[in-house]
Amino acid sequence: MNTLYYGDNLPILKKHFPSESVDLIYLDPPFNSNRNYNVLFKDESGTEADAQITAFEDTWHWTQDAERLYHDVVTASLPVSGLLSSLRFTIGTNQMMAYLVMMTARLIELHRVLKATGSLYLHCDPTASHYLKIILDEIFGFDRMRSEIIWRRYGGFKRSSAKKFPHKHDTILFYSKSEELTFHPQFKEHKKEYIRRFKKDDQGRLYRDDVNPTKGGRRIIYFDEVEGDLIDSLWTDIFPINPLAAERLGYPTQKPVALLERIIKASSNEGDVVLDPFCGCGTAIAAAQNLNRKWIGIDITHLSIALMKYRLKDTFHLEPKKDYSVVGEPEDVSSARQLANDDRYQFQWWALSLIKARPAGAGGEKKKGADKGIDGLITFIDDQSGKGKRVLIQVKSGHVKSGDIRDMVGVLDREKAEIGIFITLNEPTRDMITEAVSAGYYHSEGWQRDYPKVQILTIADLLNGKPVQLPPTSTTFKNGNSIVREPDQIYLNL
Ligand SMILES: C[S@@+](CC[C@H](N)C(=O)[O-])C[C@H]1O[C@@H](n2cnc3c(N)ncnc32)[C@H](O)[C@@H]1O
């Protein structure tokens, strides 16, 4: 069954993946770019909210863990072990070395899980691509390097004071496990001017008469029989996700579906298994699903797992558990408590995903949204003005008291928000419930219904499927009396 795994891909690969079980691997790991990647959310009115949260950090350090992993790889006596110790000698124990050790351990596992006919595409940039290539040469064999693809990322050039040429491409290193690889050459689409030279026959098939002077005759050429130009290793025809692209989810480093579709079509067949061990907002997963491949995604943040779940629902109407499995998410209160103890933000992102709320943060700081008393947001439109109205969410994993509910009422007032949802891991006290009830109701003109102004839900409630009471978020009221159904836009097209 198609599966999403939450967690670090190294132990997950070791524990869950038999050898030679995957047909195609695409990985787009952090590049060692020394940046924090922020997620930007836009609210439904289309204006860019200043809500930013750090999705993942791309900064590496030489720590005890790096030292341990280095030890594991070097003592495994693999061909790459010698290379890694030479690199340490040359590079030293610094951020780059920490990154390369992290990558080497994972690439060894990825090579193991790949079938003999399988291929791996490693997406990287010039920061470390030269080191990654020699590491892959050692793991796969230098003669298994099939292509070094240059993906030219278009985009405006800013005037820069840096004394270098602006950097506008990524490198995708394509290796096969053996000479028996699955590979289908890909062809470019025909240019419009070329297509215009064809006419339709009675059956609607495009054709053209071709005068062939060397053979002194004519022949009919059918459009569907002519291949476009062969795609080579320089990819200049796929545009990165721009700020207005329909497929844009607001996840940093999101790659275009077209890029992944090209890779998947070239190196797999229908029904094959595609694995993305650093899957972010799930571009490889979406492309694999489009092309009738099986898929497995792994990511270390709940933010990404939540985004993928929404993407799969909104694009393909797929539901977790029914249509695919999710491994590593809390299934009961005690594992939710464990997650909260391990990492408060992961817990928060996971809890918000249970009610399809988007995380709130500001200025790229994880903490700031929480400081304002808002951890998450849902927007709905329920009257003909088309104005987006807000549901504010607080998530608590520790001790809770009635003062928290009073504070929430204050925040709703201050922020002029319609409804507040208070998610708590611990059971609420009787006073809290009374306080919430006395906040009264929000009356929706559009739906002619009342909704409790402050709603308390425990994690146990949510795990048991208890719903929040909100006006539908997937409906837009247009001018006039008609109600137009639109896809859920909580995350997609924000
Ligand atoms: C560059 S992004 C991938 C973007 C993706 N290609 C897309 O189109 O959305 C890298 C992802 O790797 C994840 N990640 C980083 N370290 C990881 C690890 N050890 N195990 C699993 N995922 C990891 C990050 O959370 C991030 O979502």
pLDDT tens, residue by residue, 445-460: 888 999 999 999 999 9
Q: Per mean pLDDT, which of 456-460, 464-468, 470-474 is the most reliable?
A: 456-460
The CATH superfamily label for domain 3-43+54-185+231-327 reads Vaccinia Virus protein VP39 (3.40.50.150)
Q: Is the CB of 280 under 6 A from ligand 1?
A: yes
Residue 475: is its pLDDT beyond 80?
no
**Predicted local confidence at residue 42, as pLDDT:** 46
Q: Which range, of 276-290, 356-370, 463-477, averages the lowest pLDDT?
A: 356-370
Query: Per-domain residue ranges for the chain?
Result: 3-43+54-185+231-327, 192-225, 338-485
Kindly give the distance from the C-alpha atom of residue 299 to the centroid of ligand 1, in angstroms, as a whole number: 6
Q: What's the average model confidence in pLDDT over 338-343?
A: 93
Q: What is the predicted pLDDT for the residue at 56?
A: 67
32 close to ligand 1 (CB < 6 Angstrom): no
Distance between CA 296 and CA 359 in Å, rounded? 25
Kindly report each contact of residues 254-258 with a partner whose C-beta sits within 8 Å and lies 24 or more positions away, as own/partner: 254/280, 254/281, 254/283, 255/28, 255/123, 255/280, 255/283, 256/283, 257/283, 257/286, 257/287, 257/290
Please work out whether the CB of residue 99 comes within 6 Å of at least one atom of ligand 1.
Answer: no
Cα–Cα dist 486/475, whole Å: 6
pLDDT of residue 479: 31
Q: What is the pLDDT of residue 494?
A: 27
pLDDT tens digits along 410-448: 999 999 999 999 999 999 999 999 999 999 999 998 889
What does the chain come to in residues? 494
Is 26 touching ligand 1 by the criterion CB < 6 Å? no
Percent of the chain at pLDDT > 90 equals: 62
List the structure tokens of 30.
């952090």
301 in ligand 1 pocket by Cβ < 6 Å?
Answer: yes
> Is there an atom of ligand 1 within 6 Å of 28 CB?
yes
Q: Kindly report, residue by residue over 295-322, the tens digit of the pLDDT.
A: 999 999 998 998 899 899 889 999 998 9
HSE, side-chain direction, 13 A CA sphere, residue 257: 15
Long-range pairs for 83-91: beta carbons < 8 A, 24 or more residues apart: 83/134, 83/135, 83/138, 84/135, 87/131
Poorest-confidence range of 271-285, 318-332, 467-481? 467-481
Please identify, by atom number, the ligand 1 atom nearest to the C-alpha of residue 298. 21
Q: Mapping DSSP to helix (H, G, I), strand (E, B) and coil, where does residue 190 land?
A: coil
Among residues of the chain, what percentage have pLDDT more than 70? 86
- pLDDT score recorded for residue 247: 81
Contact between 457 and 468 under an 8 Å Cβ cutoff? The reply is yes
Residue 87: closest CA among 57, 65, 62, 124: 62
Find the mean pLDDT for residues 83-89.
95
| Ligand 1 atom, smallest distance to 55 CA | 25
The CATH number of 338-485 is 3.40.1350.10
Banded model confidence at residue 210, pLDDT cuts 50, 70, 90: confident
Instruction: State whether the beta carbon of 9 lies less than 6 angstroms from ligand 1.
Output: yes
User: Taking residues 120-141, what's their average pLDDT?
Assistant: 95
Which atom number of ligand 1 is nearest to the Cα of residue 31? 1
Tell me the best of 54, 260, 299, 302 to mutate to test the pocket of ligand 1, counting ligand atoms within 8 Å of each CB and taking the most.
Answer: 299
Distance 341 CA to ligand 1 centre (A): 23
Give the number of the atom of ligand 1 that is nearest the alpha carbon of residue 280.
Answer: 27
pLDDT of residue 363 exceeding 60, the answer is no
Global pTM reads: 0.86
Among 368, 370, 375, which Cα is nearest to 354's? 375
pLDDT higher than threshold 90 for residue 101: yes
Average per-residue pLDDT for the chain: 86
